[in-house]
Structure 1
Amino acid sequence: MTVTTLMIIRRMSTDETLRCAKRELRAAVAKRLDALDAESVREQSRVALALLTSLPEYRQARRISIYLSMPSGEVDTTAMVQNALEQGKRVFIPFTHKAMPTPTQGEDQKPSIMDMVSLDSLEDYQGLRRNNWGIPTPTKKSLETRENCINEVRAGKAGLDLIVMPGVAFDGGGRRLGHGKGYYDYFLRRYSEEAGGEVPFTVGVALKEQFLDPPANVPVGDKDWPLDAVIVGDGIVVRR
């Protein structure tokens, strides 16, 4: 057996261990969230909004991305979108679509990717239709008139100042566990490549049931991007 073969086997073993650890944590957090009532989510979402709007990075940001929340199981971002629009900020929201194959991506090729596209107004937000996950989502037709921040950065124009990110679990070191598709990690990698290594300030928002108290940590690999800050619905803000 060659040295190269041994290295591949070890990497595969490490990758599988990481995948198992992530699956187990997702299952554990899902049980916590199943026991959570709607009133607790509403109250924690209200606290998360107050904490977000108190951040100097948020106050200074002119162009921000905010995830649009599912009906349950995570911080509701409806009021965050409304606040950002009321403050005159340019708001961008996720749009997931099939990726166009490129010969340079190799093993990093994704069947679908996420872009951030502009949201024009509160009326625009209220007119979005919910997808199979219950998430408000722009139509493909509307993309013709929406700004795509990756395209803007590629053209040398303004990008994003701040991204509000969802997740399944978070910890005090800025580590984040997503749903397993890698959308945000891949988006940040693409953004960084287009912006010469620069990335926006990243903020994770978590219900207290999603935040791991020390010494517990979120299992991460080398492709998992760390967050700059995590806001927790019980009133905590942690910075990396």
Structure 2
Amino acid sequence: MEAVLRRMSTNEALREAKRELRALIARRLDTLNPESVHEQSRTVFKLLAGLPQYQQARRISVYLSMPTGEIDTVPIVQDAFEQGKQVFIPFTHRAVPATGPGGDPKPSVMDMVSLHSLDDYQGLKRNSWGIPTPTKSSLETRRNCIEEVKAGESGLDLIVVPGVAFDSACRRLGHGKGYYDYFFKRYHEATDGKLPFTVGVALQEQIVDASASIPVGNQDWPLDMILVGNGTSIRRE
């Protein structure tokens, strides 16, 4: 019982540290003007386009950005199609209950599904976060990257990852739902331990101070690299 209580206390302390950091970053982003987001997004795209891992990737996953508060990924989506890459985007849905066969312990999960073209992108509806999102009915025409891997087909080569905050060790803080971390876990299991190259993209206001670090637990996955809107990049050692 003492060990259980100690674990509960540790988990609550971790959740509180994450809540405080999200609030801090939100205050920073509140002061950010659209012009700065636009310029930083252009800078990050140039950094990404220059990476050999991006240039050589044939199948990539890209998050579709919110209207404010994060790097705009529209230039990345446009360039990927121009370069003939296959593009996959997040789709979040209610999970199969864990009590059923192949069930999931989480109430909702994120999959990466295929985006067909720029016209397909422009036809997506925005959800409550302002993010362009596929409809459930369109999934019949979209490929699911984890299902393809399980069937023995090619997986992803690179994933462009969003976040609320990042640090110098390529640790990432998300919005608290655990979607990306759980996706990495599922993909890792489906590929017997392989993961695509993971690239976080960040406004400079989303990088924590050099003396600080992202609070993480054993469910949190580090990234391979972070590209920052001030023109710098961070590699995991």
* TM-score, length-scaled by structure 2: 0.97
- Out of 204, 213, 220, the position equivalent to 1:217 is 213
How many Å separate the matches in 2 of 1:7 and 1:160? 40
2:143 is the counterpart of 1:147: yes
Hey, what's the Cα distance between the residues in 2 that align with 1:125 and 1:234?
28
Q: CA deviation at 1:20?
A: 0.4
Q: How many residues align?
A: 235
- Residue in 1 that maps onto 2:9: 13
Deviation of residue 87 (structure 1)? 0.5
Residue 197 of structure 1: aligned partner: 193
1:230 aligned to 2:226?
Answer: yes
Aligned-partner Cα distance in 1 for 2:151–2:133? 25
Please, which of 23, 27, 30 is the counterpart of residue 31 of structure 1?
27
Aligned residue for 1:39, secondary structure, equals helix
Which runs of 5 or more structure 2 residues have no equivalent in the other structure?
none
Counterpart of 2:84 in structure 1 is 88
Match of 1:133 in 2: 129
SS of residue in 1 equivalent to 2:200: strand
Structure 1 runs, 4 residues or longer, greater than 3 Å off:
none
Q: Does residue 161 of structure 2 align to residue 160 of structure 1?
A: no
> Match of 2:77, SS?
helix
Q: Scaled by the length of structure 1, what TM-score is found? A: 0.96
**Unpaired stretches in structure 1, ≥5 consecutive residues:** none
Matched, 1:121 2:144: no
For 1:110, the equivalent position in structure 2 comes to 106
Distance of 1:121 and 1:222 partners within structure 2: 37
Pair 1:69 & 2:54 matched: no
What residue identity is the alignment partner of 1:128? L
Q: 1:35: Cα distance to partner?
A: 0.4
Query: Which residue type is aligned with residue 231 of structure 2?
Result: G
AA at the equivalent of 2:43: V
Per-residue CA deviations over 1:109-130 (Å, capped at 9, x if unaligned) read 1110000000011111011000
- Helix, strand or coil at the partner of 2:159: strand
Equivalent AA in structure 1 for residue 23 of structure 2:
A
CA deviation string 1:51-108 (max 9, x = no partner): 0111111111110000000000000000110011111110000000000013389xx7
Amino acid of the residue matched to residue 147 of structure 1?
R
Matched letter for residue 59 of structure 1: Q
Which whole-Å CA distance do the structure 2 matches of 1:164 and 1:141 have between them? Answer: 25
Distance in 2, matches of 1:80 and 1:104, equals 38
Aligned to 2:49: 53
For 1:36 and 1:22, the matched residues in 2 are separated by 21
Structure 2: distance between partners of 1:23 and 1:168:
11
